[in-house]
Chains A and B, each alone.
Chain A
Amino acid sequence: MTGSVNDPVLEVKGLSTSFFTDDGEVKAVRDVSFDLAAGETLGIVGESGCGKSVTALSILGLVARPGRVVAGEILFKGRDLLSIDREELRQIRGRDIAMIFQDPLSSLNPVHRIGAQIEEAMRAHDKIASREVRPRGLDLLRQVHVPDAARRVRDYPHQFSGGMRQRVMIAMGLSNRPEILIADEPTTALDVTVQAQILQLLRDLNRDLGTSIILITHNLGVVAGLCKRVIVMYAGEIVEEGSTEQIFDAPQHPYTWALLRSLPRVDADRHERLRSIEGLPPDLIAPPPGCKFNPRCPFRLERCFREDPELEPVGDGHVAACWVTMKRAHAEMGAGSLVDTGPGAASGVRPPIAPEAPDPSGADGQDVESETQDRG
């Protein structure tokens, strides 16, 4: 599907993860499939709550109750992480697949020394000989550019700054020389200059050690700086996948297109306003029928309300799940010069009137509902 020459180290097939709450089943991730090749850098982007973090947590079996992986396969070198026993999964966590998290203060244990927290990651596995654990811990801190590492291994997390804590997290993640590093919003809690340093660090690791990286972020700029390939998620599903160039230069899903338009640009006109995407992501307990993006899409067609689009090839190694695609939107709906990006603005398509509300006077939903109740 993606034109990668290497054998994938990780294959996610049809992954679905749900949270079983009192209000109903929240389908956080639905039928997500992707591959990760050895040494590849893959970005997963989307708004908050689109399921990107849950996808990452599902890979390592770290989804907390009431969440549960309900379907799919996660093949790491051919072994399905969802069906192996707990002890086997434990051995893979941190040793073969490591993960670093968004908020490095809350992700480090406040009552243990930095050095001890890095060392225990190595001691939990037998990959690093026990006499090498201590010197390697120190080496790792130097590798991630923590100044005065020899003294600072004895410090506690609260004595570190935000950027330094994230370096500690990365050092911890790398301690067992994992094949895959999953970075969940690694730069979100940091200021911009520190962000750049952390990204450089990840880039070096990928280049020097050949570690595959899955970078999860809502920040498209971060993805552009690090990843070769990008997956765009919306409402728990993959809506588009392609190389970074394809996604940034010729996005085919209206959501990706809108996401890119909402980025602030230095080369934009001074008076140009930032364009946000109107509306909110759908309720994942009862998502809308058809395409999940239809309530917010300026290019929607009647078909988008009835049928859920599948991922279809739109270029070499580039897939998108859309009945319209931006190629057509540009050609037929003048997407390039669109000012009003409200729902249905470009196509003029309005939501179909629900069959149980046959009121032709155009009264709004609430009135229809109360009338229905009156009749009942």
Chain B
Amino acid sequence: MTRGTLIYIAQRLAIIVLTLLVVSFVVFVVVHALPGNAFISQRVHGRSLQLLLHEYGLDQPVLIQYWNFLKGAIHGDLGVSLYIRGEQVTPLVLRELSVSCELGGAALIVTIGVGMTFGVLAAIRQNTWVDYLLTSLAVVGYTVPSFVIAGLGIMIFANFLGSVTGGAIAYSPVWTGTYGTIGELWLPALSIGLYTSGQITRITRASMLEVIQQDYIRTARAKGLREWVVTLRHALRNALVPVISILGTTVVGILVGVLVIENIFGIPGLGKEFVESILQHDYNVTVGVFTIFALLIGLSNLAVDLIYTVVDPRIRY
């Protein structure tokens, strides 16, 4: 890694920190401006409410509260939950982050695996039934919302085929958190990944079709390389550049998918917490979840930009 690249990474990390400051501030101000108070859903009134607000420092001006939040956040302390009183937010969101990452990672594997395989196959079999079938599937993939696929999947596999699947994907209302098995993850991951893989299929196909017209592909064939070497080492490697450029937005798409799908399947990750913490007026958790989301997006975009330089040696920072 060159010195220029290291400087570039440092700059990007600085920008990410700035972004986190802005995001956390805006979210902090907005959640505190929500009608009602932090304990409204807990039906606390009168004197005990005043005591609680004072205990959590919620009776101070918002800017002072944000300053106190920042002082803790610098040390990695995002405060305590106001709903499950006393629960530390940092370990909570980190645990939920690991759940979401597992789901999001599985969705990303589906996205890239299915998307690129379909895209490459459609391109090298252009204008044959293989191409038509795969591009049609891609269109279905990115026009049907993930919650529809999830709903259909639950209906088919948990209800109609319940006797076959043994209820493996019939999630209990609150998932016990024994996440980690493919058996439990594949349907949620597919629900998110089919949508995003449709986009990847289209980009990969278009990019491959352009690349296989290039002179260097003819050179590769003239050298007597095997056809799969020509396709993968010479064509796909070049076709990856535009695919990677949309991977940044794809990651955001997957995070949005995680948000929806976790709530449908009851998976205790960041996405589910995102919705619940807002409904419960659990200010500190909401701010924590938002900040983690912003961090994820920032880091994944940085990762995408660094992958660029690996795929295309002409790109240097």
Contacts and interface: CB of A to CB of B under 8 A. Distances in A.
Given A62-B218, A106-B216, A124-B229, A111 B223 contact: no
Nearest to B216: A109
A229 interface: no
B204 to A, nearest CB: 16
Contacts of A101: 215, 218-219, 222
Residue with the greatest number of chain B CB neighbours at <10 A, chosen from A107, A111, A156, A169: A111
Interface string A204-245: 000000000000000000000000000000000000000000
Interface string A105-118: 01111111000000
A110 B219 contact: no
B87 interface: no
A108 B223 contact: no
Contact of A106 (B214, B225, B234): B214
Contacts of B216: 106-110
A110 B226 contact: no
A111 B218 contact: no
Interface string B204-216: 0000000001111
Contacts of A93: 221-224
A94 to B, nearest CB: 3
B144 interface: no
A156 B238 CA distance: 14
Nearest to B240: A111
Query: Which size class do A's interface residues fall under?
Result: 20 to 34
A98 B224 CA distance: 9
Contacts of B221: 60, 62, 93
B314 A64 contact: no
> Which of B220, B224, B314 has the most A CB atoms < 10 Å from its CB?
B224
B215 A106 contact: yes
Contact of A109 (B224, B227, B238): B238
Contact of A111 (B225, B226, B313): B313
B54 interface: no
B312 interface: yes
Given A109-B216, A124-B229, A158 B314 contact: yes
Contacts of A203: none
Residue from B223, B227, B237 whose CB has the most chain A CB atoms within 10 Å: B223
B226 A90 contact: yes
A120 interface: yes
Interface in B224-247: 224-227, 229, 233-234, 237-238
Contacts, number: 81
Contacts of B15: none
A111 B224 contact: no
B267 to A, nearest CB: 39
B222 A98 contact: yes
B40 to A, nearest CB: 58
B22 interface: no
Contact of A110 (B224, B227, B233, B238): B238
Given A106-B215, A106-B216, A156-B313, A111 B237 contact: yes
B311 interface: yes
A176 to B, nearest CB: 8
B226 A124 contact: yes
Interface in B109-164: none
A64 B218 contact: yes
A163 B256 CA distance: 51
Given A110-B312, A111-B312, A94 B224 contact: yes
Interface in A101-137: 101, 103, 106-112, 120-121, 124-125
Nearest to A103: B215
Contacts of A91: 224
Contacts of B218: 57, 62, 64, 101, 107
Nearest to A89: B224
Interface string A137-157: 000000000000000000010
Contacts of A259: none
Contacts of B224: 90-95, 121, 124-125
Most buried by A among B213, B219, B225: B219
A172 interface: yes
A99 interface: yes
Contact of A120 (B225, B238, B311): B225
Contacts of B233: 112, 120
A95 B224 CA distance: 7
A213 to B, nearest CB: 15
A190 to B, nearest CB: 16
A17 to B, nearest CB: 15
Contacts of A106: 214-216
A124 B225 contact: yes
Nearest to B238: A111
Contacts of B225: 90, 94, 120-121, 124
Nearest to B311: A111
B237 A62 contact: no
A267 B266 CA distance: 89
Contacts of A62: 218, 221-222
Given A101-B215, A158-B314, A109 B234 contact: yes
Interface in A75-105: 86, 90-95, 98-99, 101, 103
Residue among A57, A94, A95, A158 with the highest chain B CB neighbour number at 10 A: A94
A153 B24 CA distance: 50
23 contacts: A60-B222, A62-B221, A64-B218, A90-B225, A90-B226, A92-B224, A93-B222, A94-B223, A95-B224, A101-B215, A101-B222, A107-B219, A108-B219, A109-B219, A110-B313, A111-B314, A112-B234, A120-B233, A121-B223, A121-B225, A169-B219, A172-B219, A172-B223
| A-B pairs with lowest CB-CB distance, top 7 | A94-B224, A93-B224, A106-B215, A94-B223, A121-B223, A109-B216, A107-B215
Given A103-B215, A107-B215, 15 more contacts: A57-B218, A90-B227, A92-B224, A99-B222, A101-B222, A106-B216, A108-B216, A110-B216, A120-B229, A120-B233, A121-B223, A121-B225, A125-B224, A169-B219, A172-B219
